Amino acid sequence: MSSERININADFLTFKTQIVNKFGEQYFNQAEIFFERAMAQAEQGLLYSAIADGKFALDLSNYSNDKSGIQYLIGFLSQLHCDLGQISKSKTYYELGIRLLDPNDKEYEDDKQLFQNLKEHIDGEAWKGSVEDNMDE
């Protein structure tokens, strides 16, 4: 990695912007791969592994130059936490996803409905909250 164009002494936001501008596509591609892996793990019932890879994908997406689809990753993480009875974490991801929806996006109404369905599911599962709900992973 060449640091000729990246100022490592810059404040965090400037540094992050420089990373996104220079390497953003690479991080987008990696985030997609980890998201796909997380979905495959969830299908196999490996929910904790799916959460770990999903969170890593979310971290990578912070440096991505393309933020499209991030709401689906966040909704996925919310669903996984709900499935594990970790309702407060599920609600946190749900609320983040709702805030990231763009009313100007052509998919806004569909995405909003998906999150509404997720909210109804979370509310319906809330009584199953587990001891893990209040523990860090």
Query: Are 25 and 42 contained in the same domain?
Result: yes
Q: If you search the block for the tokens 């999903």, which residue do you land on?
A: 54
Residue 80 belongs to domain spanning = 71-131
Query: Are 60 and 86 contained in the same domain?
Result: no
Query: Are 75 and 58 contained in the same domain?
Result: no
- pLDDT per position in the chain (137 positions), as tens? 444 679 988 999 999 999 999 999 999 999 999 999 999 999 999 999 999 999 999 999 999 999 888 999 999 999 999 999 999 999 999 999 999 999 999 999 999 999 999 999 999 887 665 545 444 44
For 90-124, the DSSP string reads HHHHHHHHHHH--TTSTTHHHHHHHHHHHHHHHHH
Query: Are 77 and 126 contained in the same domain?
Result: yes
Query: Are 55 and 78 contained in the same domain?
Result: no
DSSP H or E run through 39: helix 12-43
Q: Based on the structure, what is the number of domains in the chain?
A: 2
In a domain, 101, yes or no: yes
Query: Are 38 and 63 contained in the same domain?
Result: yes
Query: Are 38 and 55 contained in the same domain?
Result: yes
**pTM, full prediction:** 0.84
Query: Are 76 and 63 contained in the same domain?
Result: no
